Structure 1
Amino acid sequence: MSSLYTGVFKRDLTLAFRQKAELLQPLMFLVLVVSLFPIGVGPAPEILQMIGPGVIWVAAILSSLLGMERLFRDDFNDGSLEQLMLSGLNLNLVVAVKITVHWLVSAVPLLLLSPLLSMFLHMTVDMYIALLMTLLLGTPLISMIGAIAVGLTVGVSRGGVLLALLLIPIFIPLLIFATSAVDSAALQLPYFSQLAIIAAMLLLAVAFSPFAIAYSLKVSQN
């Protein structure tokens, strides 16, 4: 049975890398937004350090929304999502596999680029470490919470705008705690409490999001 879930993982990963344009679009958007801010606000290091955490996190959220719609879209359009539901596989595990693939292709490149992005914004080493920790905890949360909204809107034509309207308000607490952690690191203050809150949100999402996503997909199929 585990080989079937491995097959879903390999299939989704292969399809994601075949669609290179859709794969690179969010990443290019992220890099362009972050790299244009030093031009727009000026090269002063103190200004860039002040706005840097917020810029990177806002760009990360918006870029993730660009690629979020395709999470279940192709499977819904070609009927393979319905076949997965009828195959006898545990839909919660199938959803978890798909979220894992989405995180690997969307968030891991961001993590790899994060040193370069922090250099653009003159962030210190302490600030970068805090930023990296918030990204490691926060990006899986974005994928899991976003997948719930994608499941609800997968049958809606051009649901990207509706998806953004649903998700942006939900991601505001994550944005607040993540940027607060990096700001605390800039002031040489402890930021464990902010990380703990983000980690608690992540654990809650890990526990409940697969069930919520599976239910939303079943509703969309009816």
Structure 2
Amino acid sequence: MQRRQFIIQGSAGLSALALPALGQAQSRPVEGKQYLRLGTPLSGTAAAGEVLEFFSYTCPHCHAFEPHLHQWLGRKPAKVQFRRVPLIINPIAKVTQKVYYALEAMGQLEPLHAKVFSAVQADLSKFQNLEGATAELVKLGVDGTRFKQMAESFGVQSKCQQANSLAPALGNHGVPTLVVNGRWVTSPSIAQGYPEVLATLDHLLTLPRA
């Protein structure tokens, strides 16, 4: 079964996303501008609210967005669940998807997430296969033997399949993309800025769930 491939969003204005658009930042986000309604709603979202980030370690725009998202995570409502979903947007991302879920299974994801992001962005060629990825992770202090066991485990394979099954719901949206409560979709490209997309997240979490 051929897996759907996603194209990295790279709009002309993406390089200027770090600059706040003051007019948008001071007004309430609007559907059709800062956020859109997801064509096919996702089921099984958390009752107290849920934000999914669809991303890839191989995506430079995701890497640029990560520090801003990290700041938002520090102030998000405690009851709101946040989950990352690594997607396959190119052949190397198939390997880094396994890296993500293997580290998660090992309990080492959070302390290493940013470091892995930087390592992948520094040299994609070192993550073309599991052997190369293992060698890079060993440099970060990961047990290489245990990592390979986890990366090839049934549990990680299942997690990858689950992530891939969510991908079609995004339609033509690339990465990074955020889905709120299974209904609303936004991104730095859609909202036209990092401050704008974070303000949009806050707004979407206040909208009725029904």
Same fold, TM-score > 0.5, yes or no: no
* Greater RCO, CA 8 A, separation 6+: 2
The higher radius of gyration belongs to: 1
* Higher share in helix: 1
